[in-house]
Amino acid sequence: MPLNSVDFPASVIRLENGLTLIHQEIAATPVVVADVWVRAGAIAEPAEWAGMAHFLEHMIFKGTDQLPPGVFDYAIETQGGMTNAATSHDYAHFYITIAADMLAQTLPYLADLLLHAAIPADEFSRERQVVLEEIRQAQDDPDWLGYQAMSELVYQDHPYGRPVLGTAEILQQRSPEEMRCFHQAHYQPDQMTVVITGGIALEPTVAMVKHAFRGFAAPSACPPAAIAPVPELPGVRREILHLPRLEQSRLTMAWVGPGIDQLETAYGLDLLAAILAEGRSSRLVRELREDRQLVQDIGAGFSLQRECSLFTIQAWLEGDDVDRVEAIVCDRIDELAAKPISDAELARAKRLLCNDYAFSTEAPGQLAGLYGYYGTIANVDRCLAYVPTLQGYTSDHLQPLADRYLTPLRYVSTILHPA
């Protein structure tokens, strides 16, 4: 099935230095969002540097030779703006939301931080304490622990299996020199996408971005990431964890799907997730929560990543019901491939996802996030294929897809029980 595309409303410009700029003016909006995406997530780390990409995201805010720590945050926030950042396996991104007329003054600061992060040694040691606190906080969250356990089982030695936060042990051994090396190797124009959306026209945006994002340091050599292939699941891998302070068991079942090189297939799995467990009238929620009352809640997740996608079913339930619910979910997964999906069910899932897409592009920040994400893991105009591709799906297309990717013979199951 070909990917259908409609006219892309944003401008995509490749600057001379290799930097990609994506811009979309939104009329009648007094706000502008600048969201800079860098292909320097956890996947770019050598295994012994795990956590470096995320730690660097913190250190970016610690200033440059021109800009002492805290000056950037203060400048943005005292102009009524907001700034923050996030790191995942495929990317790190940094964004500001600010009144449109303040962008010209503040964008050069953001660019300076990203291009010329100084990573001072004393700030490095202090900020490491902050990241260690972040890790401690995560370790008190049973759902984070469960997610990490599931990821390790699914991805084995592939970097997607490592926590983005890294570990305290590894972080203690890292140095500012190593971080500067990682920064200089990856924060390069060909790895970077600047997205600007909101109340600003194209022409001043291009001039502003060209001016701010220049003078990149020459790329440095840095230990390469050794990326193992995403492993095929050999069968059913099951792990049971007993956690203190848990009040309720969890069951997470996971299947691996294709990455961005098979986007239309990935979107089909998104539809199957909605048919199974999005909303009260979906199959699993209706049967297991409303009718049989075997679960407190159940949901399906589909996340698209560069190298593979992940399809999950997660249930919150009593420990005694875990085996039974897992068996029922396997049955229902099997049925997806075996029986045609009714037109009404398919139409419902399509409308849910298409409307979610519309609802999630209402504000400039949401739009910038979408463009930046696609621009970083695929091509930005691919997000426009989402709605037409979903609309084109029929039961005949989906059944083989379920058969190929969602089988009760090969999946990962992570179970959390109260200790």
Among 190, 261, 335, 362, binds another protein (CB under 8 A): 362
Residue of 396, 372, 282, 338 whose CA lies nearest to 96 = 372
Residue of 364, 145, 398 whose CA lies nearest to 273 = 398
User: Rg of the Cα trace of the chain?
Assistant: 23
Among 1, 6, 217, 358, binds another protein (CB under 8 A): 358
Contacts of 133 (CB under 8 A, 6+ apart): none
Query: Could you say whether residue 7 binds another protein (CB under 8 A)?
Result: no
- Left (φ > 0), alpha (ψ -120 to 50) or beta: where does 287 sit? alpha
From the DSSP assignment, how many helices (H) and strands (E) are in the chain?
15, 11
Query: Could you say whether residue 127 binds another protein (CB under 8 A)?
Result: yes
Among 3, 12, 46, 79, binds another protein (CB under 8 A): 79
> Which CB atom, from 14 or from 136, has the smaller least distance to another protein?
136
- Kindly indicate which of the ranges 28-36, 257-265, 302-310, 399-407 contains the residues binding another protein, using the contact rule CB under 8 A: 28-36
> Which CB atom, from 40 or from 145, has the smaller least distance to another protein?
145
| DSSP H helices in 261-406 | 263-277, 283-284, 322-338, 343-359, 364-377, 386-392, 395-405
Among 5, 175, 355, 391, binds another protein (CB under 8 A): 355
Query: Could you say whether residue 82 binds another protein (CB under 8 A)?
Result: yes
> Which CB atom, from 218 or from 419, has the smaller least distance to another protein?
419
x-or-dash string of contact with another protein, 215-244, rule CB under 8 A = -----------------------------x
The SS3 of residue 316 is strand
Cβ atoms of 182 and 222 within 8 Å: the answer is yes
Rounded to a whole number of angstroms, the minimum distance from the CB of residue 6 to another protein is 15
User: Dihedral through CA 381, CA 387, CA 391, CA 397, nearest 10?
Assistant: 60
Query: Could you say whether residue 51 binds another protein (CB under 8 A)?
Result: no
Residue 341, φ and ψ in degrees, nearest 5: -90, 130
Query: Could you say whether residue 131 binds another protein (CB under 8 A)?
Result: yes
Cβ atoms of 119 and 175 within 8 Å: the answer is no
Query: Could you say whether residue 142 binds another protein (CB under 8 A)?
Result: yes
What single letter denotes the amino acid at residue 61?
Answer: F
Query: Could you say whether residue 35 binds another protein (CB under 8 A)?
Result: no
Give the interface size with another protein as a residue count (CB under 8 A). Answer: 70
Among 7, 78, 173, 320, binds another protein (CB under 8 A): 78
Element (H, E) at 130: helix 121-139
Residues that bind another protein (CB under 8 A): 26-31, 61, 69-70, 73-74, 76-84, 97-99, 126-134, 136-137, 139-140, 142, 244-248, 278-282, 286, 290, 293, 296-297, 316, 344, 347-348, 350-356, 358-359, 361-365
